[in-house]
Structure 1
């Protein structure tokens, strides 16, 4: 049964974490984004994020984006500094037309830092990217 379900490989959809200035509090905050670098709109984007380690676990956070247009991005959530010490996973499920896609993006513990910043597609910002 389960083996009969065909879920194709996800291409041109990424999760990135960007350090941005919070204008009100004047702090440097880490925010997670989903990037749709494809030529097709994504529908019903469901994201479940969670931080884990051998002895710690954050509660899962659930997010929904009704439509993510082609060549665009959307903010998922703010990441507290303590969460960066954990493995952070983002399970992303979406529809492209009538086809369902699913992929889990994992940021290993302590890999989200200023030394790991790189140019991000579409955003004109630097961040940590998982493809």
Structure 2
């Protein structure tokens, strides 16, 4: 039965962290985005996010957050969530599932502890912004 299930490799779809000015906080803040650098529309994109790790020798975990997008157009990015400064010192995990046509794609992206920072930014594909790409 499992041999019948084919989950194709995720290519040109990323979870990225982008730093943007927040009028609410009056400072630059980090936000997670779903970046579709393909020429296809993503359908029924679902993301489960969480953060986990050690702070001062104590295990810390955040609650899981769930996000859904009916469609994500080609060559665009959609904002997923605000990344509060205290969770940047934890591992941040984003489990993504989506469809292109009748095929389901699935991948987990991780930002390691303290990897979301200004020095780690690169030019992002498909959009004219800089940010940090999850692996």
TM-score normalised by length of structure 1 = 0.95
C-alpha separation between the residues in 2 aligned to 1:31 and 1:18?
5
Match of 1:117 among 101, 117, 121: 121
Q: Which residue number corresponds to residue 65 of structure 1?
A: 69
Pair 1:20-2:20 in alignment:
yes
* Shift of residue 2, structure 1, vs aligned partner: 3.1
Structure 1 stretches of 4+ with a deviation exceeding 6 A read none
Q: Deviations over 1:48-88 (max 9, x none)?
A: 00001151110000000000011111000000000001110
Cα RMSD (Å) of the superposition?
Answer: 1.2
Q: Which runs of 5+ in 2 are unaligned?
A: none
Q: Which runs of 5+ in 1 are unaligned?
A: none
Q: Which residue number corresponds to residue 32 of structure 2?
A: 32
Equivalent pair of 2:75/2:127 in contact (CA under 8 Å): no
C-alpha separation between the residues in 2 aligned to 1:73 and 1:20?
14
